[in-house]
Amino acid sequence: MSLFAIADTHLSFGTNKPMDSFPGWNDYVERIEKNWNKIVTADDTVVIAGDISWAMNFDELKADFEFLNNLNGTKIIIKGNHDYWWNTLKKMNEFIDENHFDTVKILFNNSYTVDGISVCGSRGWMFEGEDEHDEKVLSREVGRLKLSLDSAESENKIVFLHYPPITTDSKCDEILSVLKQYGIKKCYYGHLHGKAAKIAVDDTIDGIDFKLISCDRLSFIPKLVR
Protein backbone atom coordinates (compact mmCIF):
# COMPACT_ATOMS: atom_id res chain seq x y z
CA MET A 1 0.00 0.00 0.00
CA SER A 2 1.64 3.22 -1.20
CA LEU A 3 0.75 6.90 -0.92
CA PHE A 4 1.16 9.15 -3.96
CA ALA A 5 0.39 12.81 -4.64
CA ILE A 6 -0.25 15.12 -7.57
CA ALA A 7 -2.05 18.45 -8.06
CA ASP A 8 -3.79 20.52 -10.70
CA THR A 9 -5.36 17.85 -12.90
CA HIS A 10 -7.61 20.58 -14.42
CA LEU A 11 -10.03 18.09 -15.93
CA SER A 12 -12.71 19.42 -18.30
CA PHE A 13 -14.75 16.52 -19.67
CA GLY A 14 -17.95 18.36 -18.77
CA THR A 15 -16.72 21.80 -19.90
CA ASN A 16 -14.77 23.17 -22.82
CA LYS A 17 -11.61 24.35 -21.13
CA PRO A 18 -8.85 21.81 -21.82
CA MET A 19 -5.27 22.66 -20.92
CA ASP A 20 -3.77 21.22 -24.12
CA SER A 21 -3.15 24.68 -25.57
CA PHE A 22 -0.63 25.51 -22.83
CA PRO A 23 3.05 24.65 -23.40
CA GLY A 24 3.85 21.14 -22.18
CA TRP A 25 0.18 20.22 -21.55
CA ASN A 26 -0.51 18.46 -24.85
CA ASP A 27 -2.49 15.22 -24.39
CA TYR A 28 -2.31 15.75 -20.63
CA VAL A 29 -5.41 13.71 -19.77
CA GLU A 30 -4.14 10.68 -21.68
CA ARG A 31 -0.71 11.10 -20.07
CA ILE A 32 -2.20 11.31 -16.58
CA GLU A 33 -4.27 8.16 -17.14
CA LYS A 34 -1.40 6.16 -18.65
CA ASN A 35 1.21 7.19 -16.06
CA TRP A 36 -1.19 6.88 -13.14
CA ASN A 37 -2.39 3.36 -13.92
CA LYS A 38 1.15 2.25 -14.64
CA ILE A 39 2.43 2.93 -11.12
CA VAL A 40 -0.67 3.17 -8.89
CA THR A 41 -2.40 -0.06 -7.86
CA ALA A 42 -5.91 -0.64 -6.55
CA ASP A 43 -4.51 -0.79 -2.99
CA ASP A 44 -2.76 2.58 -3.22
CA THR A 45 -3.96 6.10 -2.39
CA VAL A 46 -3.36 9.30 -4.35
CA VAL A 47 -3.85 12.79 -2.88
CA ILE A 48 -4.87 15.37 -5.51
CA ALA A 49 -4.00 18.77 -4.07
CA GLY A 50 -6.53 21.05 -5.69
CA ASP A 51 -7.66 22.37 -9.08
CA ILE A 52 -9.31 19.05 -9.77
CA SER A 53 -11.74 20.24 -12.44
CA TRP A 54 -12.84 23.30 -14.41
CA ALA A 55 -16.48 22.40 -13.70
CA MET A 56 -18.74 25.09 -12.27
CA ASN A 57 -21.32 22.71 -10.79
CA PHE A 58 -22.01 19.04 -10.11
CA ASP A 59 -23.57 18.46 -13.54
CA GLU A 60 -20.36 19.56 -15.25
CA LEU A 61 -18.28 17.73 -12.66
CA LYS A 62 -19.82 14.28 -13.15
CA ALA A 63 -17.73 13.24 -16.16
CA ASP A 64 -14.52 14.40 -14.48
CA PHE A 65 -15.28 12.36 -11.36
CA GLU A 66 -16.10 9.35 -13.53
CA PHE A 67 -12.60 9.64 -15.00
CA LEU A 68 -11.02 9.93 -11.54
CA ASN A 69 -13.11 7.14 -10.09
CA ASN A 70 -11.95 4.76 -12.82
CA LEU A 71 -8.26 5.43 -12.19
CA ASN A 72 -6.47 2.93 -9.96
CA GLY A 73 -6.52 3.41 -6.21
CA THR A 74 -8.31 5.65 -3.75
CA LYS A 75 -8.27 9.39 -4.41
CA ILE A 76 -8.28 12.00 -1.64
CA ILE A 77 -8.96 15.47 -3.01
CA ILE A 78 -8.69 18.99 -1.62
CA LYS A 79 -9.96 22.31 -2.94
CA GLY A 80 -7.99 24.48 -5.34
CA ASN A 81 -8.60 28.08 -6.37
CA HIS A 82 -10.31 26.95 -9.61
CA ASP A 83 -12.60 24.32 -8.05
CA TYR A 84 -15.74 26.44 -8.38
CA TRP A 85 -17.93 23.32 -8.09
CA TRP A 86 -16.80 22.87 -4.46
CA ASN A 87 -19.69 22.80 -1.98
CA THR A 88 -20.47 21.75 1.56
CA LEU A 89 -19.03 18.44 2.64
CA LYS A 90 -22.55 17.05 3.00
CA LYS A 91 -23.55 17.96 -0.55
CA MET A 92 -20.27 16.71 -2.03
CA ASN A 93 -20.56 13.38 -0.24
CA GLU A 94 -24.16 13.06 -1.39
CA PHE A 95 -23.01 13.67 -4.97
CA ILE A 96 -20.31 11.02 -4.57
CA ASP A 97 -22.72 8.49 -3.04
CA GLU A 98 -25.49 9.08 -5.59
CA ASN A 99 -23.10 8.48 -8.47
CA HIS A 100 -21.22 5.60 -6.85
CA PHE A 101 -17.85 7.33 -7.03
CA ASP A 102 -16.59 4.93 -4.40
CA THR A 103 -12.87 5.62 -4.86
CA VAL A 104 -13.09 9.39 -4.28
CA LYS A 105 -12.89 11.02 -0.84
CA ILE A 106 -13.08 14.70 0.14
CA LEU A 107 -10.45 16.23 2.45
CA PHE A 108 -12.26 19.18 4.03
CA ASN A 109 -11.85 19.97 7.76
CA ASN A 110 -10.95 16.31 8.30
CA SER A 111 -8.14 13.82 7.75
CA TYR A 112 -7.61 10.26 6.55
CA THR A 113 -5.30 7.56 7.83
CA VAL A 114 -3.35 5.76 5.12
CA ASP A 115 -1.11 2.93 6.31
CA GLY A 116 -0.30 4.69 9.59
CA ILE A 117 0.03 8.15 8.05
CA SER A 118 -2.49 10.92 8.71
CA VAL A 119 -3.25 12.74 5.46
CA CYS A 120 -4.13 16.34 6.39
CA GLY A 121 -4.58 19.57 4.52
CA SER A 122 -6.64 22.41 3.11
CA ARG A 123 -6.57 24.85 0.21
CA GLY A 124 -4.26 27.21 2.08
CA TRP A 125 -3.73 30.77 0.95
CA MET A 126 -1.24 32.79 -1.05
CA PHE A 127 -1.01 36.54 -1.34
CA GLU A 128 -0.59 37.17 -5.06
CA GLY A 129 -1.56 40.82 -4.98
CA GLU A 130 -3.29 43.42 -2.87
CA ASP A 131 -6.74 42.39 -4.10
CA GLU A 132 -6.26 38.88 -2.74
CA HIS A 133 -4.93 39.95 0.63
CA ASP A 134 -8.06 38.88 2.46
CA GLU A 135 -7.54 38.35 6.16
CA LYS A 136 -10.91 36.65 6.57
CA VAL A 137 -10.11 34.04 3.93
CA LEU A 138 -6.68 33.46 5.43
CA SER A 139 -8.13 33.07 8.92
CA ARG A 140 -10.65 30.56 7.60
CA GLU A 141 -7.98 28.52 5.84
CA VAL A 142 -5.79 28.50 8.96
CA GLY A 143 -8.78 27.23 10.93
CA ARG A 144 -9.52 24.51 8.40
CA LEU A 145 -5.93 23.34 8.43
CA LYS A 146 -6.00 23.16 12.22
CA LEU A 147 -9.27 21.20 12.14
CA SER A 148 -7.70 18.73 9.76
CA LEU A 149 -4.59 18.34 11.90
CA ASP A 150 -6.59 18.06 15.13
CA SER A 151 -8.64 15.23 13.61
CA ALA A 152 -5.53 13.19 12.75
CA GLU A 153 -5.38 9.74 14.31
CA SER A 154 -1.64 9.27 13.78
CA GLU A 155 1.25 11.33 15.08
CA ASN A 156 2.84 10.85 11.65
CA LYS A 157 1.13 13.69 9.78
CA ILE A 158 1.75 14.86 6.21
CA VAL A 159 0.18 18.10 5.00
CA PHE A 160 -1.13 18.73 1.50
CA LEU A 161 -2.05 22.25 0.38
CA HIS A 162 -3.08 23.76 -2.91
CA TYR A 163 -1.36 27.12 -2.47
CA PRO A 164 2.36 27.11 -1.69
CA PRO A 165 2.92 28.29 1.89
CA ILE A 166 6.34 29.53 0.85
CA THR A 167 8.09 30.52 -2.39
CA THR A 168 11.48 31.99 -3.17
CA ASP A 169 10.04 35.49 -2.92
CA SER A 170 7.15 35.24 -0.46
CA LYS A 171 5.70 33.27 2.41
CA CYS A 172 2.47 32.91 4.35
CA ASP A 173 3.58 33.18 7.96
CA GLU A 174 0.19 32.16 9.34
CA ILE A 175 0.16 28.82 7.48
CA LEU A 176 3.84 28.21 8.19
CA SER A 177 3.21 28.85 11.88
CA VAL A 178 0.58 26.08 11.93
CA LEU A 179 2.96 23.64 10.22
CA LYS A 180 5.62 24.38 12.84
CA GLN A 181 3.14 24.26 15.72
CA TYR A 182 2.06 20.75 14.76
CA GLY A 183 5.57 19.51 14.05
CA ILE A 184 4.95 18.85 10.36
CA LYS A 185 8.00 17.49 8.52
CA LYS A 186 6.57 17.12 4.99
CA CYS A 187 4.36 19.52 3.03
CA TYR A 188 3.25 19.03 -0.58
CA TYR A 189 1.57 21.77 -2.63
CA GLY A 190 0.44 22.67 -6.17
CA HIS A 191 -0.80 25.80 -7.96
CA LEU A 192 2.46 26.84 -9.63
CA HIS A 193 2.78 26.11 -13.36
CA GLY A 194 5.19 26.90 -16.18
CA LYS A 195 7.32 29.96 -15.51
CA ALA A 196 5.67 30.42 -12.11
CA ALA A 197 7.29 27.16 -10.98
CA LYS A 198 10.60 29.03 -10.94
CA ILE A 199 9.64 30.48 -7.56
CA ALA A 200 8.76 27.07 -6.12
CA VAL A 201 10.55 25.85 -3.02
CA ASP A 202 11.66 22.22 -3.29
CA ASP A 203 13.80 22.19 -0.20
CA THR A 204 13.84 21.71 3.56
CA ILE A 205 13.26 24.95 5.45
CA ASP A 206 12.99 25.14 9.24
CA GLY A 207 12.81 21.35 9.35
CA ILE A 208 9.91 21.09 6.86
CA ASP A 209 10.43 19.41 3.49
CA PHE A 210 8.43 21.31 0.83
CA LYS A 211 7.64 19.79 -2.58
CA LEU A 212 5.77 21.19 -5.60
CA ILE A 213 3.51 18.50 -7.09
CA SER A 214 1.62 20.31 -9.88
CA CYS A 215 0.95 18.03 -12.84
CA ASP A 216 3.34 19.67 -15.27
CA ARG A 217 6.10 19.84 -12.68
CA LEU A 218 5.79 16.06 -12.21
CA SER A 219 5.54 15.35 -15.96
CA PHE A 220 2.00 14.12 -15.21
CA ILE A 221 3.26 11.25 -13.08
CA PRO A 222 1.95 10.91 -9.49
CA LYS A 223 4.77 11.37 -6.98
CA LEU A 224 5.49 8.61 -4.50
CA VAL A 225 5.16 10.04 -0.98
CA ARG A 226 5.47 6.89 1.12
CATH code, domain carrying 74: 3.60.21.10
Average pLDDT of span 2-12: 97
pLDDT at position 127 is 63
pLDDT at position 72 is 98
Q: Residue 56: is its pLDDT beyond 90?
A: yes
Q: Residue 132: is its pLDDT beyond 70?
A: no
Average pLDDT of span 119-145: 82
Average pLDDT of span 75-84: 97
Q: Residue 187: is its pLDDT beyond 60?
A: yes
What does the DSSP assignment read for 162-195? SS-SBBSS-B-HHHHHHHHHTT--EEEE----GG
Closest CA to 158 of 47, 11, 42: 47
pLDDT at position 200 is 95
Counting other chains too, the contacts that 124-132 makes at CB distance below 8 Å and 24 or more residues apart are: 124/161, 124/162, 124/163, 124/164, 124/165, 124/172, 124/175, 124/189, 125/163, 125/172, 125/174, 125/175, 126/163, 126/164, 126/165, 126/170, 126/172, 126/191, 127/170, 127/172
What value does the mean pLDDT of the chain take? 94
Average pLDDT of span 85-113: 98
Show the domain range for 20: 3-224
pLDDT tens profile 58-67: 999 999 999 9
- What is the domain count for the chain? 1
pLDDT top residue among 9 and 24: 9
**Confidence bin at 34 (pLDDT 50/70/90):** very high
**Confidence bin at 126 (pLDDT 50/70/90):** confident
Average pLDDT of span 161-170: 95
Q: Residue 195: is its pLDDT beyond 60?
A: yes
